[in-house]
A = this chain, B = another copy of it.
């Protein structure tokens, strides 16, 4: 029994889809969310920069005395999970490992597709992990326009469908039987992605997978919190107003007056 909160960070707002799933599965746990909106997006930045940001984000969460850290951002998971595990002594969970495990458990023929940001795909992390665990075939593609489409709220119009048709071409015609939505924003486009891919392709939302994995890890480490209800804190590094508007849409509840602005300067590298 451990009343310390769970820390969740993302490059921005998208990780709220992960917070939502964790909250559903572990309603008694206290959750601290950090969205690094001042430095979003991570997807176009180098792995070194993303790792530096991830370390700073985790230092902030550690200052809130968290008992576990969930890396909700796919780009940060690809670049930084190993570095975080080396530097911090709490469990660190990444969305990529969780998504890979769920994809393999649901796929029949182990022919798996992955879509994500350019950085996630270029990192090759999904692909190498899937192959190491025995996947027969891995097909991946970057879908850079999906994030701005989701944030614009254009999730089921003609543009979204046309963009999905272009990006998802490599996954059609039986090329894969399972597709990992390798970016926290993509579940918002699940409808149009499913429409283009058809029912023969299973879609894996790794937000749910990481929530299950987190529950298992808390239980096996005997650090779960069974006396709720868990409170929540939402921190963003910039533009609380925009985070409130877009975040409320992502989370399905109004965040407007519950967001705190945080300056990460004290947690920057080279500082204690």
Q: Is the CB of A49 within 8 A of B44?
A: no
Which candidate, A21-29, A58-66, A156-164, A225-233, is the interface stretch facing chain B?
A156-164
By the criterion of a CB under 8 Å from any partner CB, how many residues of chain A are at the interface? 25
Contact residues of A between 241 and 258, Cβ < 8 Å to B: 242
- Contact indicator A39/B39 (Cβ below 8 Å): yes
Residues of A154-179 contacting chain B, CB below 8 A? 154, 158-159, 162-163, 166
**A20-64 interface mask toward B, CB cutoff 8 Å, 1 = contact, 0 = none?**
000000000000000001111100111001000000000000000
Partner of A151, one of B45, B144, B242: B144
The CA of A40 and the CA of B39, in the complex, are separated in Å by 8
Whole-angstrom CA separation of A88 from B1 in the bound complex: 57
Complexed CA–CA distance, A239 and B75 (Å):
14
A142 vs B152: C-alpha distance in the bound complex, in angstroms?
11
From known contacts A148-B144, A162-B162, infer whether A45 and B38 are also in contact, taking CB-CB under 8 Å: yes
Q: Which residues of B contact A151 (CB under 8 A)?
A: 144
Which among B39, B49, B152, B163 is the interface contact of A159 at CB below 8 angstroms?
B163
- Distance (Å) between the CB of A266 and the closest chain B CB? 12
List the interface of chain A (C-beta within 8 A of B): 37-41, 44-46, 49, 144-145, 147-149, 151-152, 154, 158-159, 162-163, 166, 238-239, 242
Complex A-B: 25 CB contacts under 8 Å: A37-B44, A37-B45, A38-B45, A38-B49, A40-B44, A41-B41, A44-B239, A44-B242, A45-B238, A45-B239, A46-B238, A49-B239, A144-B148, A144-B151, A144-B152, A145-B145, A145-B148, A145-B152, A145-B159, A147-B148, A148-B148, A159-B159, A159-B162, A159-B163, A162-B162
